[in-house]
Amino acid sequence: VEVNWEVFVAALAGVEVITDAAQVAKLSQDYHTFSPILQRDLAGKVGDIVVRPATEAEVLRVAAVCAWYRIPVTVRGAGTGNYGQCVPLHGGVILDMSRMQRIGWIEKGVARLEAGVKLAALDKKARESGWEIRMAPSTYRTATLGGFVAGGSGGIGSITYGQLRDRGNLLALKVVTLEDEPRAIELRGDDVQKVNHAWGVNGIITELEIPLAPAYPWVELIVTFDDFMTAASFGQALGDADGIVKKLITVFAAPIPTYFAALRQYLPEESHAAFLIVAESSLEVLPGLIQEYGGKLTYQKSAQDANKGVNLWEFTWNHTTLHARSVDSSITYLQSLFPLDKSLQTVEQMYHYFGDEVMMHLEFIRVNGAVIPAALQLVRYTTEERLNEIIRYHEANGVFIANPHTYIIEDGGRKQMDPEQLKFKQMVDPYGLMNPGKIKALMAS
């Protein structure tokens, strides 16, 4: 697109814009760098300008100008996404939503807020009235709620509440369209799925309404094991223990714990470890279960100390990959869902088959009412061909892979675009300006 950016900026007088090339380049990035494939494929992709609206009225103005000049728009929260979702393939506007930080209300276990609110800020506010967020990615301190809903899937809390996509975890959202005359549309009930996890292609989310959870005092614990499968079985058993209130069950095979320098004293050489977050009220019954599996409790941080020192959850989910890569940048990762099988046979099979090449990192979550291990295995990367072979072997053995090495929605976790989402896209983005190039179904047509 040929755009006269001076005219563009003049049309948006009063709205914050950033034109400094270095800043624009920085805000055109996300954390796709965990993937050597995406690093290669997205190198050099930058936007032309960053716009930082402070209100929905400003978003409507930006949308109108972008629709008029047919300028591509890549929406951005905190830019912590892992699949290059925030990287513009065709330049244009980077729409940074991080100034929209108003929390509207928190009542009866529901919160209404603007899309740029950071998860940690919402959680803190909610706890003042006895509530907390149901689930958060390990990027909780920086990630925005809009970015989490548009680009994330679940995380700490998913052991109890499932994933974002599960019915009931998102109550309503409001999106601004990129029509000739942009509108703000409110979606409620099942209609929220038209925008949930749509990578910023289905309207600019300005507000969200999410259900909360009762807030507990949480205790963080590390339990170590001599044997990986025993650690994994312990994770499954704790996940299945419905009476125990919990929000995190992570299991690492050796040598993953050696990547966590800050926790070295709690992680004996060659040990396999479970990182847990359990409600204080459930603590008394935990030693029995730990003993049953021959585990050793090596670390415990009380609820009072929650805000002091390191937080265990910042070593889990994709933070595990971050820590591993800071020691060995040749490491990359997979995202998997193992089949429902309490004996964890497929986990054991993959663990032995790949050995040290694919290091096992399990995150237990609730899926359709049952606890199963998701995994963000660490992979010692050699070639793209080998990586694809590893993925295919998992799939052939019944492991679902949400491939984090692609910027195409359908090739990741989706497999197929929801026809309802595509229909909604045609309405809200008639010129195909939103994050263009990320949907396979639209390229074919």
Asked if residue 81 binds ligand FAD (CB under 6 A), the reply is yes
Sole binder of ligand FAD in the list 12, 48, 62, 80 (CB under 6 A) = 80
Sole binder of ligand FAD in the list 53, 88, 91, 137 (CB under 6 A) = 137
Asked if residue 210 binds ligand FAD (CB under 6 A), the reply is no
Helix (H, G, I), strand (E, B) or coil at 78: coil
Asked if residue 144 binds ligand FAD (CB under 6 A), the reply is yes
- Short-list 423, 329, 419, 337, CA closest to 377: 337
What are all long-range contacts of 164-171, with beta carbons under 8 Å and residues at least 24 apart? 164/135, 164/196, 164/197, 165/193, 165/196, 165/197, 168/211, 169/134, 169/135, 169/210, 169/211, 170/196, 170/208, 170/209, 170/210, 171/110, 171/209, 171/210, 171/211
Sole binder of ligand FAD in the list 138, 250, 271, 421 (CB under 6 A) = 138
Sole binder of ligand FAD in the list 63, 204, 286, 375 (CB under 6 A) = 204
Please state, in angstroms and rounded to a whole number, the distance separating the CA atoms of residues 204 and 206.
6
Tokens of 339: 């089949």
| Minimum distance from residue 169 beta carbon to ligand FAD (Å) | 12
Sole binder of ligand FAD in the list 60, 115, 231, 344 (CB under 6 A) = 115
Spatial CB neighbours of 52, under 8 Å, sequence gap ≥ 6: 15, 16, 17, 18, 96, 98, 99
Of 146 and 239, nearer to ligand FAD (C-beta) is: 146
Sole binder of ligand FAD in the list 72, 146, 373, 404 (CB under 6 A) = 146
Q: For 135-265, list the strands marked E by DSSP.
A: 172-176, 184-188, 204-214, 218-225, 246-252
Cβ-closest position to ligand FAD: 147
Sole binder of ligand FAD in the list 139, 169, 177, 196 (CB under 6 A) = 139
Element (H, E) at 76: strand 73-76
Of 229 and 439, nearer to ligand FAD (C-beta) is: 439
Of 32 and 394, nearer to ligand FAD (C-beta) is: 32
Asked if residue 92 binds ligand FAD (CB under 6 A), the reply is no
Binding region for ligand FAD (CB under 6 A) out of 131-139, 220-228, 330-338, 345-353: 131-139
Tokens of 328: 């060995």
Asked if residue 78 binds ligand FAD (CB under 6 A), the reply is yes
| Minimum distance from residue 389 beta carbon to ligand FAD (Å) | 25
Q: Where are the alpha helices (DSSP H) in 77-197?
A: 119-127, 145-151, 158-161
Place of tokens 């223990």: 241
Asked if residue 403 binds ligand FAD (CB under 6 A), the reply is no
Asked if residue 113 binds ligand FAD (CB under 6 A), the reply is no
| Minimum distance from residue 103 beta carbon to ligand FAD (Å) | 15
**Binding-residue pattern over the window 304 to 333 for ligand FAD, x denoting contact by CB under 6 A:** -------------xxx--x-----------
Sole binder of ligand FAD in the list 200, 235, 404, 412 (CB under 6 A) = 200
| Minimum distance from residue 261 beta carbon to ligand FAD (Å) | 16
- DSSP conformation letters of 297-341: EEEEE-GGGTTSS--GGGGSTHHHHHHHHHH-TTEEE--EE--S-
Spatial CB neighbours of 385, under 8 Å, sequence gap ≥ 6: none
Sole binder of ligand FAD in the list 3, 73, 150, 222 (CB under 6 A) = 150
Of 150 and 159, nearer to ligand FAD (C-beta) is: 150
* DSSP at 265: G
Q: Percent helix, strand, coil in the chain (nearest 5)? A: 35, 25, 40
Binding region for ligand FAD (CB under 6 A) out of 14-22, 140-148, 234-242, 380-388: 140-148
Asked if residue 152 binds ligand FAD (CB under 6 A), the reply is yes
Tokens of 346: 């497929």
> For residue 368, which phi and psi values (nearest 5 degrees)?
45, 45
Helix (H, G, I), strand (E, B) or coil at 273: strand
Sole binder of ligand FAD in the list 37, 143, 253, 277 (CB under 6 A) = 143
Determine the angle formed by the axes of helices 384-396 and 345-354, rounding to 10 degrees: 150
CA of residue 217 relative to chain centroid, distance: 24
> Residues interacting with ligand FAD, by CB under 6 A?
30-31, 74-82, 85-86, 97, 115, 137-139, 143-144, 146-148, 150-155, 199-200, 204-205, 317-319, 322, 435
